[in-house]
Amino acid sequence: MSTLDQLAQSELATGENRASAIADATHRAHVRRRLLLTTPALIVLFCAASGPLLIMLIYSFLSAGDYGGVEWTLSWDGWANVFMQRDIFDGTLSIADAHVSILWRSVKLSLLTTFTALVFGFPTAYFIATRPPRTRNLWLFLITIPFWTNLLIRTFAIMEVIRNQGVINTILKSLELIDEPIQMLFTDFAIMIGMTYVYLPLMVLPIYASMEKLDFRLVEAGYDLYATRFRVLRRIILPLVKPGVVAGSILVFIPSLGAYVTPRLLGGGKNMMLGNLIELQFGQGRNWPLGAALSFSLLIIVMAALLIYVRGVGKPESGHD
């Protein structure tokens, strides 16, 4: 009994010190455990992402080998060839028109894809968010179904729909609305439709996540204060779900810019995008330094676009969170 009493006494006396000591020790243990837990992920990240990036960066400053690969001699040709080309006969430098037009097509189609995905994705997210909670999960499930199918198969399915003897042209023809099939496959339009289809869920899901948190009583308050439907959308709903719109746009824009499979199949090889151009350098082009430099150019464009977007659109939102 008496030892227990003593223990209780000393514990009372040093209680506060002990409490903070215990808290410190627990905290340190937590930090250690967290580091330990993240180590495998960090290793994978370094080996699979940072490592290859570093190799690519090095390659972009070397000269091309005759049969692919690189020669270990320092050269600026990779970077110079991103926008310039050297004439085979007289060796003069001029702007690489093909590269510029591919870059322009990539940016244009990615922006268009983002915009189209937003136009279709926003109402979809709104629709799902306004369903009763039970049916919401069903709709979300339906939205994610395309993810289950292989990208190639989905892209071939689109080809089947838009090709000259495809579903759309056959129907239009049988309705006698057109005489000649409309050329949709192997155009920029086809690439954009394909990318919109593939990346639409990436737009819908973040917007839905924001929309689900939206207090629809605010919408009622807007109507109550004489705001018409359009004004409620513009003044209340849009500002409140903006984080979701920003996230969705980024998630669609970035993979669109580097898309490879969709433009390759739906663009038919002549309507190239950056991804295809890069692939070309590592394949038939046998110009790895140029491919590496192009990859880094893509990375720079994405980062710049992100920076502009987050600065311009995302800033006012962060003020009051």
Q: Rule CB under 8 A: is residue 218 a binding residue for another protein?
A: yes
H or E element at residue 84: strand 84-86
Closest by alpha carbon to 195, among 120, 134, 145, 245? 120
Alpha-carbon gap, residue 244 to 242, rounded angstroms: 5
Q: Is 217 in the site for another protein (CB under 8 A)?
A: yes
Q: How far is the CB of 123 from another protein (least distance, A)?
A: 20
Residue 231 binding another protein, by CB under 8 A: yes
Handedness of CA 221, 226, 228, 233 (dihedral sign): negative
Total interface residues for another protein by CB under 8 A: 20
The least distance separating another protein from the CB of residue 227, rounded to whole angstroms, comes to 5
Is residue 130 a contact residue for another protein (CB under 8 A)?
no
Minimum separation from the CB atom of position 135 to another protein (A):
15
* Residue in 185, 236, 265, 292 binding another protein, rule: CB under 8 A: 236
Give the count of beta carbons closer than 10 Å to the beta carbon of residue 153. Answer: 8
Indicate whether 239 belongs to the interface with another protein (CB under 8 A). Answer: yes
| DSSP one-letter code for 66 | B
| C-alpha–C-alpha distance, residues 17 and 23, integer Å | 10
* Chosen residue from 194, 222, 243, 263 binding another protein by CB under 8 A: 222
Site for another protein in 240-259 (CB under 8 A): 240
CA–CA distance, 29 with 17 (Å, rounded to integer) = 18
Q: Which residue has the tokens 């199918």?
A: 149
Which CB atom, from 40 or from 319, has the smaller least distance to another protein?
319
Q: How far is the CB of 316 from another protein (least distance, A)?
A: 9
Nearest-approach distance from CB 318 to another protein, in angstroms: 12
Contact between 235 and another protein by CB under 8 A: the answer reads: yes
Q: Does residue 143 contact residue 201 with C-beta atoms inside 8 Å?
A: yes
Q: Which amino acid makes up residue 151?
A: L
Is there binding between residue 224 and another protein (CB under 8 A)? yes
Q: Nearer Cβ to another protein, position 104 or 223?
A: 223
Binding string, 67-106, against another protein, x = CB under 8 A? ----------------------------------------
- Residue 221 found at the interface with another protein (CB under 8 A): yes
* Torsion angle of the four alpha carbons 236, 307, 96, 257, in this order, in degrees rounded to the nearest 10: -60
Cβ–Cβ under 8 Å, residues 113 and 195: yes
CB of 126 to another protein, least distance (A): 18
Q: Which position has the token pair 């593939």?
A: 198
Closer to another protein by CB, 67 or 226: give it: 226
Q: Answer yes or no: are the C-beta atoms of 309 and 246 closer than 8 Å.
A: yes
Round the CA-based radius of gyration of the chain to a whole number and report it. 28
Which of 1, 73, 226, 318 touches another protein (CB under 8 A)? 226
Interaction site with another protein (CB under 8 A): 215, 217-218, 220-228, 231, 235-236, 239-240, 317, 319-320
